[in-house]
Structure 1
Amino acid sequence: MKMTQLFLDELKREAAGTRKALERVPEGHNSWKPHEKSMPLGYLASLVATMPAWIDYMINRDELDFAPVGGNPNKPQEWTTRAELLACFDESLAKAQAALEGTTDEHLMTTWRLKAGGHLISEDPRHINIRHGVINHWAHHRGQLTVYLRLNQAAVPALYGPSADEMF
C-alpha cells in the first residue's frame, strides 16, 4: 500500500474523533484558560481544527517558519460560532486530502524543513514530518481539548475508547 493512501486513511479516522470534539466546544468561551500558562480555548480549538492543513504545507512547500520575524501569517483564524470552527476544520481537511492525493510516495521521501524565527528546528523527510508534526501532534492537542471540554462541563467524546460521557 502506498504511504499516501495510509495517510489518507489515517486522516479520515482521526478526523471523525476530531469532529466530535470540535462539535462540543462551547461558544462564547474563546478566552477561557485553565491556567495562566495555558493557551486560550478558542486558540486551541482553532489549532485542532486547522492542523490537518499543515500537510499541505509539508507537501507543497519546502519549509515553513511558524514564528517568522514580523508575525505569523499562518496563525489560525479566530472564530465565534461553532459553525465557523467546523467550516475551518472542513477546509483544513480538504487541503490535506488534496495535497496527499496530488503527491507521490517519492516526494514524501524528500526533505522538508521547519523553522522558527529563521532558525532551523528540524529537517526530515516529509513523511516523518507528516507523522510527527501533524498526526501525532494533532492527537496531542485534541487530547488537551478534551480536558478543556471537561473543565467547561461539555461532554467528552469517546475517541480511542469510551469516555465517562460516551460509549462507542
Structure 2
Amino acid sequence: MKSTKARTDVQLKELFLETLKRDEAGTRKALERVPEGQNDWVPHEKSMKLGYLASLVASMPSWIETMINQDELDFAPVEPEKQFKPFEWTKTSELVALFDESLKKARAALESTTDEHLMTNWRLKAHGHLISEEPRYINIQHGMLTHWAHHRGQLTVYLRLKEALVPALYGPSADERF
C-alpha cells in the first residue's frame, strides 16, 4: 500500500500552484460549455449576466498576479476610466484564451515570489477606503481561490439552466462522471 505521509516542507506558492493545476481542467470544461450568443442572459433580475460571470471565472486567476506584484487594489475606484470592465467575448475560444492568459499570469507571479513575500500585507480598497489589510497568502486563498470556486459553482448552475452539460468539478455531475 502506498504511503500517505504528509509532506511538511510544502511552500505556500507550491500549494497555490497545485491548486491552480487541480482546478484548471474543470474550469476549462465549464468555460468551454458556456453557450455563445447568450452573454446578456440572467436567471434572475438580481443575478449577474452570463457573459460577465464567464469572464469573471476566466480572469480571476490573474488576480494572483495583482496580489503578488502590487501592494493594493481599489476594486471600485472613483475615477470612471480606472473602473474594471470585464472582457467582452463573443466566441468561446476567446473566453478560453482569456483563461489561459490569466493562468499564465498567476503561475508566473507565483513562481517568481517567495513565501516571505506572501506573508506581507496586501490592501483591498473600495472608493479609496480600506476594506481589508491581510497577508497576501490569505488574500490569495480567500479573495481569489475560494471566491473563484464560488463563481465556478455559480457558472455550473447557469450551465444547467441553459441546458448545457455540467462538468464534474469536485465530484461527479449528473452529466459527467470522473
Which category describes the TM-score, using the shorter chain as reference length? over 0.9
Determine the structure 2 residue equivalent to 1:125: 135
The code of the aligned residue for 1:125 comes to P
Distance (whole Å) between structure 1 residues aligned to residue 86 and residue 106 of structure 2: 15
Question: Is 1:79 matched up with 2:89?
Answer: yes
Residue 42 of structure 2 is matched in structure 1 by 33
Distance 1:51 1:74 in 2: 12
Q: How many residues align?
A: 168
Q: RMSD over aligned Cα, in angstroms? A: 0.8
Alpha-carbon distance in structure 2 between the residues aligned to 1:7 and 1:83: 26
Whether 1:42 and 2:45 are equivalent positions in the alignment is: no
Tell me the residue number matched to 1:3. 12
1:111 aligns with 2:112: no
Closer, same or farther: CA 74–95 of 1 in aligned 2, 3 Å: farther
Corresponding residue for residue 175 of structure 2: 165
Q: CA deviation at 1:29?
A: 0.1
Instruction: Give the counterpart letter for 2:121 in structure 1.
Output: T
What runs of 5+ residues in structure 2 fail to find an aligned partner?
A: 1-9
**CA displacement at 1:115 relative to structure 2:** 0.7
SS, match of residue 76 in structure 1: coil
CA distance in 2, matches of 1:134, 1:108: 14
Quick check: 2:76–2:83 contact (8 Å CA) kept in 1? no
Q: What SS does structure 2 have at the residue aligned with 1:143? A: helix
| Cα offset, 1:153, TM superposition | 0.4
Q: Quick one: distance in 2 between partners of 1:60 and 1:75?
A: 21
Structure 1 residues without counterparts, runs of 5 or longer: none
Please point out which of 16, 27, 36 is paired with 1:18.
Answer: 27
Q: Which has the larger radius of gyration?
A: 2
Is the CA contact 2:118–2:136 (under 8 Å) kept in the aligned structure 1? yes
In 1, Cα distance between equivalents of 2:12 and 2:118: 8
Provide the residue aligned with 2:4 in structure 1. none
Q: Which moved more, 1:69-78 or 1:12-21?
A: 69-78
Give deviations 1:59-85, integer Å, cap 9, x for gaps.
000000111012344432111100000
